[in-house]
Amino acid sequence: MPDRDVVLLETVKTHRARLVSAFVFGELTERRLVNNNVKRLIGGVIVAAILCAVCGGFSFVTSHLGRQADQERVQQGMGPATGPVLAADAFDRDEPRGWGESDRGGRWTVAGAPEAYRVTSGAAVINSSDRPRGGHLAAVQHDRTDVTTTVRPTSVLTDGSLTVIVDGRRVSAEQGYHTVVQLTPGGGIAVSLVRTSTSQLQGERQRQISTTVTMPGSDDQGDEPTPVAIRTQVLGTNPTTIRAKAWPASGAEPKEWTVLGSDSTPDLQRPGSVGVRCSASADEGHAIDLAVDDLVVREAP
């Protein structure tokens, strides 16, 4: 037989626990509802946290990949030049002899007689000959240059050609990396890269280090010469990377480089200056001079 006293005590204990629970948490049906709502709330918070983590992770990955792609494009020279300016000249002055002082980058040093050069009407002019003439900025000494300039013949080419040489790294008069752009009748363009060296280990003094890419001109050129934009980069040492592009200045800059090259000639693995030169072919029956409308030199990425 059960002990009545024990049963009574247990019953009282149970009733007391139920009374306390009812007083603190409410009736049993309400407690069940609250428990269910709490479970739903906790579940919703967990799901929201997971979704936030997934979204945050996706955003981080896409942002990182985007920055990485931007860095790769910069390293490959894609897009416009954006590096710090090392030198610049808009040639907004008059100089009857020589090219004078640049807007930024020091004084121009010209090859040969100053009478073969002048600055007028917003352009630096070179009286062309069959031998290269031009100027360079000796104060600019760098091993990562990004040079942009616009050039044009002073009159329409009818035969022969005008050769423009942009010195991306001029170590000396006989040492450097150059972008050679040949301007032909009808607005035609031929682009190549050349290195010039005095090193006895490299064989010939001058050597082409890229293919030649030709863009033919038009049969209907008109009465005005075609301005051509040129951009060249000379990057680093051992090896040095050289790349260039040329396009009609009236159009947008192409994304891709026209020519690419690499070289490790020992005497060229150091900083150099920048400059512009030109020469005319003997086929041209009258003198065709070159006008350099502007020049900007930036530090390449």
pLDDT at residue 59, rounded to an integer: 63
Residue segments in the chain with a per-residue pLDDT below the cut of 70: 1-3, 5-7, 10, 12, 15, 17-41, 55-79, 200-203, 220-222, 282-287
Residue in this structure with the two tokens 């010939």, named with its chain if needed: 204
Model confidence, pTM: 0.74
Nearest to 154, CA basis, from 280, 295, 288, 293: 288
pLDDT at residue 278, rounded to an integer: 95
User: How many Cα atoms within 13 Å fall on the side-chain side of residue 24?
Assistant: 6
pLDDT at residue 62, rounded to an integer: 58
pLDDT at residue 73, rounded to an integer: 46
Q: Which helix (H) or strand (E) holds 182?
A: strand 175-184
Amino acid identity at 200: Q
CATH class of 85-299: mainly beta
pLDDT at residue 86, rounded to an integer: 97
Question: Which sign does the torsion angle of CA 253, 256, 258, 261 carry?
Answer: positive
Nearest to 279, CA basis, from 213, 210, 203, 194: 194
pLDDT at residue 60, rounded to an integer: 63
Query: How far out from the chain centre does Cα 19 lie?
Result: 79
Domain chopping of the chain, boundaries: 4-75, 85-299
Q: In sequence order, what are the residues at sequence separation of 6 or more whose Cβ sits closer than 8 angstroms to the Cβ of residue 235?
A: 143, 144, 241, 242, 243, 300
pLDDT at residue 69, rounded to an integer: 44
pLDDT at residue 61, rounded to an integer: 53
Q: In sequence order, what are the residues at sequence separation of 6 or more whose Cβ sits closer than 8 angstroms to the Cβ of residue 33?
A: none
CA distance 102 to 107: 6
Angle 289-183-216 from CA coordinates, rounded to 5°: 155
